[in-house]
Structure 1
Amino acid sequence: MLQSVQGIVIRTMDHGEGNKIVRLFTPELGKVSVMARGAKKVKSKHAAVTQLFTYGDFVFFKQRGQMGSLNGAEIIEAHHALREDLHKSAYASYLTEMTDRMFGDDEGGHYFFEQLRAGLAAIEEGKDMQIVVHLYEMKMFGLAGYLPVTDSCVSCGGTDGIISFSPTLGGLLCMRCRHKDPSAIAVGEGAQKLLKLFPRMDMRRLGSVQVKEETKQQLKTCMRTYMDTHIGVHWKARGFIEQMEKYNI
């Protein structure tokens, strides 16, 4: 059956001497893999359109139970800047890695496709990459059924005196319940507001936000610890980001 879809390249794998297996994230079919024959060759018509982060129109033939075979493709947005800049590439790779690992074959949908597309565009446009990533991480928490409680205390349900975030208990804690998790992460008003906003925020509406470094550090600690506690995946791209942070690259 011949399929024609728009998609974003979220992963590529070499196959044989000249071929690539290309993993696409599409609004209609979710996550699909296709064989792009000859795509590794420099002069291949599929060389450019099968690069990571590329957003394009893809036509492929797929029989039931078999991998599709790419027939034709045209670039809509090449996202050259995401591959040419080390930092942008690292953060964009984290978005595509989360998409690839959190969705099974044929899973996805229009909403998540648009969130990924908007996230890649935001990084390329120079918006705060850390905020983009945290917003997308929150989408993944919701997908997995582990959305943290960020509009009240996770323990008593109160909305006053919120002072910390407990990855173990699954959300914000007020000063009366702080003793229930001695390892809870202290969060100021700025971090609390963003944690409350992230679950409801559409990536397509993200503006050029200005966030204090102290707030960003609190968010980073909360989101990474929560991800490690509840998702438990070793993210290669995030590991690279952490190395860049460690060595101030």
Structure 2
Amino acid sequence: MENYQEFEGIVLSIRKHREKDALVKIFTRNHGKRMFFVKNIKNPNHSLKAALLPFTKATYLGRIKDDGLSFLQDSREITHFSKMQTDIHLNAYATYLNNLADAAINDAIQAVDLYDLLEESLVAMQNGLDPEVIVNIFEMRALQYFGAAPQLQSCVICRSQQEPFDFSVKYSGVLCQRHFGEDPRRSHANPAAVHFARIFQLVTPKQVGNIRIKPETKKAIRTFIDELYEEYVGIRLKSKSFIDQMYAWETKVEIPRRSAAAPYPKESGPSDPSRS
């Protein structure tokens, strides 16, 4: 497997190694996450410099080793998600998605679906779709890679799909209104947050389109998904903490947010896929 081969990949992170070299973590579509040693990357004329910028996807030529560091030789078909490099909000969201994808699987594990989800998410944000919605979709669909499978599509007691629902940690799924009494310690989650989380668990960034969600509902969705991650995943990424701080800063100083759809006259979105 150490012969030179072409592979598609997305740059997850870059860190300095010695004075002029770098270690670049690339999420490859067919070989999982790999760490590549790149010599003399500080050279302004380095042939791989453009292909190894943050938030970059490319087709690479290199040697992928089963043990130790891998090596890169060349690149082509380079795509820069340029808005993530210039917009502080998109940069924060994209950094979080990269970090979450990194945390979701071990190195060298092929995860084509997760790779495609990350690529679709970055493309969607680059194309102007609401980054908060894209992040929520990614979070909900990434839960499975952490071994979490909360049942959101129907009541865990009677299988009803009739909303409103509330979430029960005890049953690891939603309860319909008729069975709220089965768990006195149910989450008392915002019904709209549960509604959108159910949708986000099934759709992809390609399918969601220009969905519009009120700011207060977005906040409730964040709270609900954060609770799921606290309960089932148990990690707290620095990039997620930064996003939370960013929300707090904007609330205090009223910094206008970049958004794909503003103002929010009403909420709209795809119909519940579980009913189709």
**Does TM, scored on the shorter chain, surpass 0.5?**
yes
Match for residue 99 of structure 1?
101
Give the whole-Å Cα distance in 1 for the aligned partners of 2:80 and 2:51.
7
Residue 168 of structure 1, CA deviation: 5.8
Amino acid corresponding to residue 88 of structure 1 in structure 2: L
**Structure 1 Cα separation of the partners of residues 248 and 188 of structure 2:** 21
Question: Equivalent of 1:187, from 186, 190, 209?
Answer: 190
Q: 1:52 aligns with which of 51, 54, 67?
A: 54
Deviation, structure 1 residue 110: 2.6
> For the structure 1 residues 181 and 50, does the alpha-carbon distance in structure 2 shift closer, same or farther, using more than 3 Å as the test?
farther
Whether 2:35 is the aligned partner of 1:39: answer no
Higher mean displacement: 5-14 or 108-117: 108-117
> How many residues in Structure 1 have an aligned counterpart in Structure 2?
248
Task: Assess, with a 3 A threshold, how the Cα gap between structure 1 residues 66 and 192 changes in structure 2: closer, same or farther.
Answer: closer
CA distance in structure 2 between the aligned counterparts of 1:119 and 1:196, rounded to whole angstroms = 18
Shift, 1:232, TM fit: 0.6
Whichever residue aligns with residue 15 of structure 1, its letter is: H
Unaligned runs of 5+ in 1: none
Contact residue 31 and residue 100 of structure 1 kept, 8 A: yes
2:25 and 2:35 in contact (8 A); partners too: yes
Q: 1:29 aligns with which of 31, 44, 47?
A: 31
What is residue 223 of structure 1 aligned with on the other side? 225
Compute the displacement of 1:15 (Å). Answer: 0.8
Q: 1:168 to 1:44 in 2, by over 3 A?
A: farther
Residue 74 (structure 1) shift: 2.9
Structure 1 residue 138 displacement after superposition = 1.4
Match of 1:235 in 2: 237
Deviations along 1:61-107, whole A, 9 cap, x unmatched?
24442311111123521112111110000000111001111111111
The RMSD of aligned alpha carbons is: 2.0
**DSSP 3-state at the match of 2:34:** strand
Query: Residues 168 and 121 from structure 1, CA distance in 2 versus in 1: closer, same or farther, beyond 3 angstroms?
Result: farther
TM-score by length of 2: 0.82
Identity %: 25
Shift of 1:25: 1.1
For residue 204 of structure 2, what is the aligned residue in structure 1? 202
Superposition pairs of residues 136-147 of structure 1, within 5 angstroms: 136-147=138-149
- Unmatched runs of 5 consecutive residues or more in structure 2: 256-276
Query: Could you state the TM-score of these two structures normalised by the residue count of structure 1?
Result: 0.90
- Check 1:155–1:237 CA distance in 2 against 1; reply closer, same or farther (3 A cut): farther
Amino acid at match of 1:60: G
Does the Cα contact within 8 Å between 1:37 and 1:70 map onto a contact in 2? no
